[in-house]
Structure 1
């Protein structure tokens, strides 16, 4: 190299540093790509994404190629820098060249390009994927040899390079991804996705209508009373039973009774002919499973039973959908049923309101492991039947029993506790 002009050597050194920067940034960009976005773009036929996905299917070959090019450029650049140093500074040029090259490679070939690649991986990954796909055709034999030697060493050290690192995402990880994608997703869409992901954590008993509040038709009462109940029914599908919901004989779609109800021609035998066999589901059924069951069975409501077959309550398709999209209401200003905000900032709560609904509406985290309603939570924490004036204090709130009916909480007041030391 002594015969080569100094200017040519300096130009070659600059080019080699740029080549090293290219390989460094390409490695970071390809590894930093969002795998799910990569698959999405590849399915849509994006050329760079297709090539990048194919390269990443064999990461050992890709890394081998990148490191081969990167180390070749760095070693050759160091050699040229040494020659330049000897020419310019004499015998001390080796030390000078080593110091300058360490600083130059660190800044211009490592830190700066890798940081840029981590910030905008796609801008670098797509062009790099075209280049590496082309070069891999010619360098494949050498890369295979390098990988064979490297994998043999890893095998000796106890690493199984043939084991695929297939990793799925848990529900919690998916929730984190959705929350961190807020700048890409509208708030409403983000809320819907999170509600769907949280659906599997809830059971039918968490949202069911308690047995005592099921609206149904007792066909053993006088017929005129039955007709009045049918005409004033707030629901389209209601259970029909003898005496109590435990003896349900079927589910009636009130819409099918409009004509005979209007002309007063409906008879008990006609009502029984229109009944559909009741549909029962066991307690503990996840809402995701029940949603699919409703679709499979072509049903919109079900009676929830315990392990002894006793009816606990009723769950409807609308109840599950409200867990996803929120309460269906025509008045966005109205209070959620059973939850009423007071002027002093406290909330009046009915005892039968589901805890999940309270948590969702008030953005708090009352425990739901053992109890599904506010009444159940109060009894659980008191470890006795509730009385007026009884108070429980879950994390961050105070709940006082205001009224009791039939040994159950009828109404309670929830107040947010002031944090200690708050001004």
Structure 2
């Protein structure tokens, strides 16, 4: 070493610091990459992205390679700095060289390159991948040997060496959609979030309640049956005999009934019964994402929600689930949430008792409990455990609720003030 000129040693030292900075920045850039964007760019033909994806796919080997090369560069740099210090100032120069090299390495070989890599991960990672790929082949035996030792130490320590998967949970996907911000129109963002929320919502939350289901009793007078068919609000109606809960005949397509009307000689109760499709039943508590797939699998568009005893709780259609994703259709005959609430000048709100609690929570960003009750009337009755009198006031879940109208054993309207 004594025969090597100082100028050469300085050049080698600077080169080693650059090499150390390169590996430090490569490590940060590759680990900071958005893996899904990297995959997209790789599929678009970006060579750097393809190589980076292969490197990141084996993170343990990548880290071993970078740390081996980085530490070799740092150790060599430290040795050369010590030699330069001894030549210039003797024993004092060794201490000075150690202090100076520590500062220089922290700033120029660690902090600065890693900060830049965190700001521009794609540019640095894709460029670096072209060099790291052949280095991985060259150092494969050493990397393999080092990983064997690491895995043995992990096993001896009783730790689990579980590699992180690339799959995202629903909560992580929800966070990504939220953070997308300006890149996704707000309407599309709401639709994506609604799709992710389908697994949290059940058929009980959006079904038409039992009391609101319209059907045709085949035992009714023939004129009454004809009148109900001519004024049917939906494309399908329920046919039953005497009791809808216990004796459902099937689901009749109104269009099919109109077709049968053209043949007056054969248009009677028997032909209506034969024309009805078999009723499709859905267990209560079924998640919407599951039911959406069930509708497709069974080629159904309408189902009756039943409880554990087989009694009908409500009715749900394919359109109801789609409305949860894209919003209410203008053709819907059910009142919208905007029609069921009315803002007052004094800051209070008049809420219809049949209004869905989930919809109310969405409109006002409230956190009303939806576990026990589906409608606002249900929430009031569940809390009070009695039917209140008009004019009475109560505090329910942070709301001052004044009963305005009661009828048919239910709260029709209530005035609400957020406390």
Task: Give yes or no for TM over 0.5.
Answer: yes
Q: Which residue of 1 aligns with 2:207?
A: 208
Q: Which residue of 2 aligns with 1:186?
A: 185
Q: Which residue of 2 aligns with 1:34?
A: 34
Work out whether residues 366 and 394 of structure 1, in 8 Å CA contact, stay in contact via their aligned partners in 2. Answer: no
CA RMSD of aligned residues (A): 2.5
Work out whether residues 239 and 250 of structure 1, in 8 Å CA contact, stay in contact via their aligned partners in 2. Answer: yes
**1:173 Cα deviation from its structure 2 partner:** 2.8
- 1:225 and 2:224 are equivalent in the alignment: yes
* 21-30 vs 401-410, greater mean Cα deviation: 401-410
Q: How many residues align?
A: 414
Give the Cα–Cα distance (whole angstroms) in 2 for the partners of residues 228 and 152 of structure 1.
81
Matches within 5 A, 1:155-194: 155-161=155-161, 163-166=162-165, 168-194=167-193
**1:349 Cα deviation from its structure 2 partner:** 2.0
Q: Which runs of 5+ in 1 are unaligned?
A: 418-423
Q: Deviations over 1:123-147 (max 9, x none)?
A: 2211222211111111111222222
Q: Deviations over 1:127-182 (max 9, x none)?
A: 22221111111111122222223333333322344x44447543223322221222
Against the structure 1 CA distance between its residues 53 and 108, is the aligned structure 2 distance closer, same or farther, given a 3 Å change threshold? same
Against the structure 1 CA distance between its residues 349 and 99, is the aligned structure 2 distance closer, same or farther, given a 3 Å change threshold? same
Give the Cα–Cα distance (whole angstroms) in 1 for the partners of residues 202 and 90 of structure 2.
80
**1:380 Cα deviation from its structure 2 partner:** 1.6
Work out whether residues 205 and 374 of structure 2, in 8 Å CA contact, stay in contact via their aligned partners in 1. Answer: yes
Secondary structure, aligned partner of 1:99: helix
Q: Deviations over 1:53-101 (max 9, x none)?
A: 3223332221111011111111222222223333444432222211211
Q: Which residue of 2 aligns with 1:287?
A: 288
Q: Deviations over 1:209-265 (max 9, x none)?
A: 111111222333322222222222221112122234223212122223345558978
Give the Cα–Cα distance (whole angstroms) in 2 for the partners of residues 344 and 261 of structure 1.
55
Work out whether residues 337 and 359 of structure 2, in 8 Å CA contact, stay in contact via their aligned partners in 1. Answer: no
Work out whether residues 377 and 411 of structure 2, in 8 Å CA contact, stay in contact via their aligned partners in 1. Answer: yes
- TM-score (structure 1 length as normaliser): 0.89
Q: Deviations over 1:291-345 (max 9, x none)?
A: 11111111111111111111111111111111111111279xx863423333433
Work out whether residues 392 and 399 of structure 1, in 8 Å CA contact, stay in contact via their aligned partners in 2. Answer: yes
Q: Which residue of 1 aligns with 2:79?
A: 79
Q: Which residue of 2 aligns with 1:359?
A: 361
- TM-score (structure 2 length as normaliser): 0.90
Secondary structure, aligned partner of 2:181: coil
Give the Cα–Cα distance (whole angstroms) in 2 for the partners of residues 395 and 73 of structure 1.
64
Q: Which residue of 1 aligns with 2:373?
A: 371
Give the Cα–Cα distance (whole angstroms) in 2 for the partners of residues 25 and 375 of structure 1.
61
Q: Which residue of 1 aligns with 2:242?
A: 243
Q: Which residue of 1 aligns with 2:318?
A: 317
Work out whether residues 227 and 261 of structure 1, in 8 Å CA contact, stay in contact via their aligned partners in 2. Answer: no
Give the Cα–Cα distance (whole angstroms) in 2 for the partners of residues 321 and 25 of structure 1.
48
**1:367 Cα deviation from its structure 2 partner:** 0.9
Q: Which residue of 2 aligns with 1:97?
A: 97
**1:52 Cα deviation from its structure 2 partner:** 2.4
